[in-house]
Amino acid sequence: MIKKKITRIFGRKIYHYLKVDSTNKIAFHLAQKGEAEGTAVVADEQSKGEGRRGSWWFSPQGGLWLSLILRPSLNFSQIPLLNILGAIAVAETVEPLLTHRSVFIYWPNDIMIDEKKVGGVMCKSSPEKGKLSFVIMGIGVNLNVKEFPPQLQKEATSLSLEEGYSISRKLFLELLLRKLEELYTCSNGSWLPILEKARILFPLLGKPVKIQTPQEEWLGYPIDIDGKGNLIVRLESGVQRVINAETSINLVR
């Protein structure tokens, strides 16, 4: 365990591991035992990194694999807002490191450089007597990952592959935690500035997309992000639908 004061709250205590199955699982256990908000779990490598819908997240050495304990004053329906907040923080930490490329957020929580994923955010919550006890914000960023499995080579990248030099994980972690705390503190006053940032970083607003659920598929146009972090989509029929983070959307090419 490393104790170091990076910000006022986030990273005040950091648990560092060489290799774990999942930082989320460790952070979840620590939160259940009463660990304070802002405590972070960082690993050099994960053997069972978690993605959306139980998918596997490739987490070799060379990346930043981070889980952060949050105890927000939100209800369950507002958890998607934290996914958005985390994605914005990663994007705004990555952006100054890029020279000739742009960074954006792909719905709902992937951070992209051009057409390839460089990072992702996933929040998991724990109910306690019907209330939101804590949220674990899991963040993965491909900093210095040199190679990806064949099935990921067309869709994933790293900062070092894009920019041609190694990124200091220590410095990136410090910058990211500062950005996360800045946005999180801002959200206590109002989510409006954060949602406005999300609209700027989300390139699919107004563009044709295909929306898929296990039951059906439609064509539509994302027109806004609502106050709970859901996507508002106008279908070709003119009907508007609210799309949550579990729904997949893909740009129509």
* pLDDT per position as a tens digit, 102-112: 899 988 789 99
User: Do 195 and 214 share a domain, yes or no?
Assistant: no
18-56 per-residue burial string, b: 16 or more CB within 10 A, e: under 16 = eebebbbbbbbebbeeebebbbbbbbbebeebbbbeeee
Domain CATH number, residue 234? 2.30.30.100
Q: Give the range of the structural domain holding residue 217, as residue numbers without chain letter.
A: 209-251
User: Do 94 and 135 share a domain, yes or no?
Assistant: yes
Q: Is the dihedral of CA 91, 92, 97, 99 positive or negative?
A: positive
Q: What was the pLDDT predicted at 120?
A: 95
The DSSP bridge partners found for residue 135 are: 70, 125
User: Do 143 and 222 share a domain, yes or no?
Assistant: no
2 band by pLDDT with thresholds 50, 70 and 90 = very low
- Tell me the backbone φ, ψ of residue 116, rounded to 5 degrees: -120, 145
Residues 6+ apart with CB under 8 A from 124: 24, 28, 135, 136, 138
Q: What was the pLDDT predicted at 208?
A: 92
Domain CATH number, residue 195? 3.30.930.10
Structural domains of the chain, count: 2
Q: What is the pLDDT of residues 37-90, one digit of tens each?
A: 999 999 999 987 776 655 667 889 999 999 999 999 888 888 999 999 999 999
Q: What is the pLDDT of residues 96-146, one digit of tens each?
A: 999 988 899 988 789 999 889 999 999 998 776 667 899 999 999 999 999
- Tell me the backbone φ, ψ of residue 136, rounded to 5 degrees: -100, 120
Return d(Cα 219, Cα 17) in angstroms, integer. 45
User: Do 140 and 214 share a domain, yes or no?
Assistant: no
Q: What was the pLDDT predicted at 50?
A: 73
User: Do 141 and 159 share a domain, yes or no?
Assistant: yes
User: What is the pTM (predicted TM-score) of this model?
Assistant: 0.92
Q: What was the pLDDT predicted at 52?
A: 61
User: Do 119 and 227 share a domain, yes or no?
Assistant: no
